[in-house]
Amino acid sequence: MGANRDVGKALVQFSIVDALVAGLFDGVFPVAEVARAGGFGLGCGDHMDGELVVLDGVFRLFHGDGRMTVLGASDSLAFAEVADFAADSSSPVDGVASFEALIDAVRERVSSVNLFHAVRVDGQFASVSLREAKRQSKPYLPLAEAVHDQRENLVTGVRGTLVGFVAPGVFQGVTVAGAHLHFVSVDGDVGGHVLGLAGLSGELAIESYSAVTVRLPRSADFLTADLDAAVAGADAAIRRAESEHQS
């Protein structure tokens, strides 16, 4: 169960999370380039403006001021993780009580936690706790400080889709180790980074990958950055930025 049907397929990532930890927030990857790699995934916008949801080839950016923008080909992204998603397995889930319970359900359905897994859940949610990062200005703060002014939003009684990935722990810093999920409502108007959820019933689809392709920025800031120095303590910074409420 959960074995990838096509061992040639790979998850494609643009930039690395450690670059965000270091405060490298410029959008250096055009949406057109990212879209060629896949129509399913997540990321963040230029200047770390908002939370990106890529679903069925549509790039929606949920901004920290509550707006949603459908991005065009010439818009740019600071970070993205995408795939050409085609589920290996799909099964119903009912009464999922929490984010952690959902990830347990994913792990029960895959062959190994040492592979990458794309996760899509279409369903009804009693509640979803969301975060949308606010646009940053230069000189950028490190990620752990930049997320202090994030917008948090608790949405109740909503139907929509979870989009994201579960990555092996050894890849922390390249990507987000463990689960990283974003949400978009069925009408496309509400979404963001998922901090928590409750009362989920729907369909859980998973695809597993044994390969990941990473495309690094070639901007002057990235090429000259001292990432070794900048990411000291990066594991704690990533975990805080991804999962903790900042209020």
CATH code assigned at 174:
3.30.1330.80
Q: What is residue 138's predicted lDDT score, i.e. its pLDDT? A: 87
Taking the alpha carbons at both ends of the chain, their separation in whole angstroms is 40
Q: Kindly state whether residue 98 falls inside one of the protein's structural domains.
A: yes
Q: Which parts of the chain sit beneath pLDDT 70?
A: 1-8, 230-247
Q: What is residue 246's predicted lDDT score, i.e. its pLDDT? A: 46
Alpha helices in the chain (DSSP H): 17-21, 31-37, 99-108, 143-146, 220-224, 227-230, 234-243
State which residues form the domain around 120. Answer: 11-243
Q: Kindly state whether residue 2 falls inside one of the protein's structural domains.
A: no
Q: Kindly state whether residue 196 falls inside one of the protein's structural domains.
A: yes
pTM, entire model: 0.90
Q: Kindly state whether residue 148 falls inside one of the protein's structural domains.
A: yes
Task: Specify the residue for token string 């001292």.
Answer: 226
Q: Kindly state whether residue 87 falls inside one of the protein's structural domains.
A: yes
Q: Kindly state whether residue 152 falls inside one of the protein's structural domains.
A: yes
Q: Kindly state whether residue 141 falls inside one of the protein's structural domains.
A: yes
Structure tokens at 150: 């994030």
Q: What is residue 4's predicted lDDT score, i.e. its pLDDT? A: 46
Provide the number of structural domains found in the chain: 1
CB atoms within 10 A of CB 206: 22
Q: Kindly state whether residue 4 falls inside one of the protein's structural domains.
A: no
Q: Which of 163, 159, 184, 179 is nearest to 60 (CA)?
A: 184
